[in-house]
Amino acid sequence: MLSKSIIPSTVNADLQKEREGASFNSEEFAAWWAGGPEQLKFKRSVKEYMYKDINLDERANFHYLSHEDICEFAVKNSINVAKKLRQLQAERNPGGSEYWPTLYEEPDLAGLHLAGNPFGVMYVMVVKALKAQCTAEQYEEFGKRLEQFEVCAAYAQTELGHGTYLRGLETRADFDRDTDEFVLNTPTISAYKWWPGGLGHSANYSLVMAQLYIDNQLKGPHLFYVQVREEGTHEPRPGVHIGEIGKKMGFLGVNNGFLGMKDVRIPRNRLLMRHVQVHRDGTYVKSPVDVLTYFAMVSTRCIIARIAYVALAVTATIATRYSAVRRQSPIDPKLPEVQIIDHVTQQLKVFPEIATSMAHRLCFDYLWDLFNVTSKDIDQGRYERLPELHALSCALKVISSTDATRGTERLRLACGGHGYLTSSNLGNIYAHMSASCTYEGENTVLLLQIGRFLIKSWRAAQKGDPLPPTARYLAEVQRNPEFGAWTGSWENMTKAMQFAAANKTRLAFQSLSKRLDKGESEEVAASHTGIELTQAAELHGRAFIFHCFITEITGPKSKTRSPSLNRVLEQLLELYLVNMTLNNMSDILRVVSLTDGDLSKLQTRLETALTKLRPDAVAIVDGFDFIDGQLNSTLGSFDGNALERIFDAALKAPMNQKSVPKSFHEYLGPFMKSNL
């Protein structure tokens, strides 16, 4: 066994050469990616403070722990992060909130929560839901305690037998006039709350989505704030059956839990009553808009889109750096093995994922601005933007989580056998991203919701009614159904994607109408048209991304960037648009007349885009500005010493701390001797 580190203190020569050969300044890219020089400075100062003095050996070996020890590790780790952020807040701006709790679930700090954060949902969902749906008096009474982490809470919505379909939830809350309380019950096993992060053994309170009943009359799903464990002893409250659901593919330490309730009583004011009220006499005041009950989920879907593009940027960074230092298979048999990044097939695996993470980032910025504007509208009693926000948040959640999951697996495969190592961190990221395709709205169900939005918009366009900005192309296609000439420009490709989405919407509408004419109800007809509706929904989302990406890269903001940075960003835009156009060509060909020559030109453009990006790929991912603690990967470190780090991680594995394992003496050795 080696007694000292085998990792060189210098940067891999191939990686250093890549950086020196870049055509632009990666620092300018980093500032642009961060939102400006001041934001970059702020982020770096936070990361420097938070990632210093971390226990590298503990981090390297946590995957070898038992499930129970991983959960204990996650709680200890997450509380240490909270303590450090509180300390940072106290040192830099006492009484403020820009560090604590604002940054607790910030993607920049995700590398500190190696096993997941059992308290992450508390800030991502619960605090936001309380702020959005509590009255001022309610938030003062119990919301502030949670925000200050005096107590901790989960968000219990999904049930063992029910997920995205909230109207099917079985947990019920009956109003008792005599005591002025709600009585909560999970009447069946399928009604048990299942999956909430941190609910198992971490949270002592929970937001619970339950069916409200008054005089045994159903009022629909509502949110209730429920104490599930005693604050002092942490023991379950009377009538509460609570625990952890068991080990999962990923999020190993998030402590996802189950919750059953039998005659659990809570005061009437534990119903979140900003938009809906139940008075002392049982009078029920309905919310002005039903979706307000689920507005926290809209926010969370936006955040999932952010988590996904960051995760894809992380995996793209790992794969790009590894591709630059790994040499294999000479292109010219007479020459030495080349960096695998020189193989065009490797470029096609890696570079489009860099472009995709950027596209999704820019769309998230648009979506988050829309969310904030809509939130202000709601405060003033205006709800016109809600349908578009709901549809866009669903679309970007679906596409970003799907693309990040598929992209991460593609990038893992691009790293060959070493990508299969736990120490690469690619498998861990894949497990996290795969989960995002089903939590907070299963992706197919969300696509169907977008499909219904498109059908409503198509009908509105037929009547000449105004449409939301991101759906106005449907009316344009109805007015001018002929696409016109194919030029292959970026705007032309965007128009082609919009026409493809409009055509799928038209076909879905026609199929739906035929089924309605045959006597099917709207709901049954929509179910039978589900395949076409989901296809139209995905194309609608792709068209939105096309438009957003082009606007951000070529619009007025481009004047604030250097020509060299703009050139690189435009090359990434070109790669994304051409690659996605080719990937969706079967739908585009139904509405656009392209010749074989046109398709050949697109293939040439794809290969040219890869070639142009090749010299700048490493500098681009450097511009994402991830430190090694965020990547947590033997393959993707900044110094590029991948092989040495892989070997070093193997040497530190628990199995290698003994020359002969216990199993040899107990099983293998005796068995072999028994044959003598």
Q: What's the confidence (pLDDT) of residue 284?
A: 96
In angstroms, the first-to-last Cα distance of the chain is: 33
- Has this prediction a pTM greater than 0.85? yes
Q: What is the pLDDT of residues 498-515, one digit of tens each?
A: 999 999 999 999 999 999
| % of the chain with per-residue pLDDT over 70 | 99
**Whose CA is closest to 301, among 411, 172, 441, 117?**
441
Q: Say how far apart CA 389 and CA 370 lie, in whole Å.
A: 7
CA 205 distance to own-chain centroid: 25
Q: Is the peptide bond before 238 cis (omega within 30 degrees of 0)?
A: no
Task: For 206-215, write each residue's pLDDT tens digit.
Answer: 999 999 999 9
Sign of the dihedral through C-alpha 492, 497, 499, 500: positive
- Beta-carbon contacts of residue 439 (< 8 Å; ≥ 6 apart): 158, 195, 304
pLDDT at 291 over 80: no
pLDDT at 56: 77
The residue among 257, 272, 293 that closes a domain is 293
pLDDT class for 58, splitting at 50, 70, 90? confident
Entry field: residues in the chain: 676
| Residue 440 appears among annotated catalytic residues | yes
How many domains does the chain divide into? 2
Q: In this structure, are residues 356 and 407 in contact, taking their beta carbons and an 8 Å threshold? A: yes
Last residue of a domain, one of 574, 594, 614: 594
DSSP lists the bridge partners of residue 220 as 212
Pairing type for strands 277-278 and 284-285 reads antiparallel
Residue 214 inside a domain? The answer is yes
Tokens standing for 310? Answer: 């960051």
| Inside any domain, residue 181 | yes
Tokens of 29: 């890219």
What does pLDDT average to over the chain?
Answer: 95
Kindly state whether residue 130 falls inside one of the protein's structural domains.
no
Domain range enclosing 274 = 152-293
Q: Are 197 and 121 in contact (CB under 8 A)?
A: yes
Angle (nearest 5°) at CA 484 between 479 and 486:
140
Amino acid in the structure at residue 246: G
pLDDT digits (tens, 9 = 90+) for 93-150: 999 999 999 999 999 999 999 899 999 999 999 999 999 999 999 999 999 999 999 9
The yes-or-no verdict on residue 2 having pLDDT over 60 is no
| Interatomic CA distance for residues 541 and 394, integer angstroms | 9
Q: Return d(Cα 398, Cα 544) in angstroms, integer.
A: 13
Using the predicted structure, report yes or no on whether residue 63 has a pLDDT greater than 80.
yes
CATH number of the domain bearing residue 514:
1.20.140.10
Contact 343/331 with Cβ under 8 angstroms? Answer: yes
Closest by Cα among 505, 496, 452 to 474: 505
Task: Give domain status of residue 281, yes or no.
Answer: yes
pLDDT of residue 1: 44
Q: Which residues pair with 242 in a beta bridge?
A: 259
Q: What is the pLDDT of residue 164?
A: 76
| Alpha carbons 266 and 27: distance in angstroms, whole number | 54
Which pLDDT belongs to residue 167?
87
The string of pLDDT tens digits covering residues 230-283 is 999 999 999 999 999 999 999 999 999 999 999 999 999 999 999 999 999 999
Contact in structure between 340 and 612 (CB atoms under 8 Å): no
Burial of 444 (0-12, 13-18, 19+ CB in 10 A): middle
**Domain annotation covers residue 59:** no
CB 584 within 8 A of CB 542: yes
Q: What is the pLDDT of residue 5?
A: 80
pLDDT higher than threshold 90 for residue 311 = yes
Residue at 495 is within a domain: yes
At which of 270, 293, 316 does a domain end? Answer: 293
Q: Which of 105, 388, 440, 538 is catalytic?
A: 440
From CA 210, how far away is CA 298, in angstroms rounded?
18
| Residue 492 structure tokens | 């032309």
DSSP summary character for residue 151: S
Higher pLDDT, 167 or 11: 11
Q: What values do phi and psi take at 58, rounded to 5?
A: -65, -40
Q: Tell me the sheet residues that pair with 176.
A: 181
The residue among 676 and 506 whose pLDDT is bigger is 506
Q: Is residue 673 part of a domain?
A: no
Residue 524 located in a structural domain = yes
Mean pLDDT of 534-553: 98
Q: What is the CATH number of the domain that holds 259?
A: 2.40.110.10
Q: Rounded to whole angstroms, how far apart are CA atoms 534 and 290?
A: 23
Structure-token pair, residue 510 = 């026609």
Given a cut of 90, is residue 379 above it in pLDDT?
A: no
**In 3D, which of 537, 502, 497 has the Cα closest to residue 398?**
537
Two tokens, residue 457: 């918009």
